[in-house]
């Protein structure tokens, strides 16, 4: 199941911002809420957040770019995250990541040309005792092997 996102809409964006703006230290909360609604944080939303929180555009842009989670454009229809941290490395994760890259024809951190799959590294899902692990559109998968990674890639490509 891929999440259904709304297309960017300024009024809707302003609503989301207003909903959270009164919390203390709201910047991350708002950026998360925007991304949850639209699938990314549209450029046009940055000055709106700045205005609502009485910050400069540079400050909000700085926060937006500091964190790995926030996207400046929509991801592919499916997002496949492969854990690349030490516990998964120890359990054979390097070879599986290379296999997924080869099958999809993209390297970690990029999206296939048909916009179907975004392949990303993630540094630890906390599934270190059932490594190697992955997350496909929010669904967790542990004890990956060649068969399972192939099935995941095929599922993501559908």
Contact residues toward other proteins (CB under 8 A) are: 24-29, 31-32, 53, 59, 62-63, 66-70, 85-92, 122-131, 133, 138, 140-143
Residue number, 47 or 67, with CB nearest to other proteins: 67
To the nearest whole angstrom, how small is the minimum distance from the Cβ of residue 56 to other proteins?
A: 12
To the nearest whole angstrom, how small is the minimum distance from the Cβ of residue 113 to other proteins?
A: 25
> What's the number of CA atoms in the CB half-sphere (13 Å) around residue 75?
25
Task: Compute the distance between CA of residue 142 and CA of residue 70 in angstroms, rounded to an integer.
Answer: 25
Task: Compute the distance between CA of residue 122 and CA of residue 133 in angstroms, rounded to an integer.
Answer: 10
Q: Do the Cβ atoms of 77 and 43 come closer than 8 Å?
A: no
Residue number, 63 or 106, with CB nearest to other proteins: 63
- Partners of 83 in beta bridges: 122
Residue number, 7 or 109, with CB nearest to other proteins: 109
Residue number, 105 or 138, with CB nearest to other proteins: 138
To the nearest whole angstrom, how small is the minimum distance from the Cβ of residue 114 to other proteins?
A: 26
CB atoms within 10 A of CB 147: 8
To the nearest whole angstrom, how small is the minimum distance from the Cβ of residue 36 to other proteins?
A: 10
Instruction: Give Cα 49 distance to the centre of its chain.
Output: 21
């Amino acid at each position: 199941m891929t999440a259904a996102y709304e297309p960017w809409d300024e009024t809707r964006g302003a609503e989301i911002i207003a909903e959270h703006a009164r919390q203390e230290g709201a910047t991350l909360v708002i950026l998360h809420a925007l991304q949850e609604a639209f699938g990314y944080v549209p450029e046009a939303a940055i000055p709106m957040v700045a205005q609502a929180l009485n910050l400069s555009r540079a400050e909000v842009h700085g926060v937006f770019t500091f964190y790995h989670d926030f996207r400046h454009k929509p991801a592919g229809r499916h997002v496949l995250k492969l854990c690349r941290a030490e516990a998964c490395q120890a359990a054979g994760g390097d070879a599986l990541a290379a296999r997924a890259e080869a099958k999809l024809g993209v390297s970690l951190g990029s999206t296939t040309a048909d916009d179907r799959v975004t392949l990303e590294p993630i540094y630890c899902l906390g599934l270190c005792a059932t490594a190697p692990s992955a997350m496909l559109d929010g669904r967790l998968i542990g004890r990956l092997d060649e068969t399972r990674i192939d099935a995941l890639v095929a599922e993501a490509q559908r």
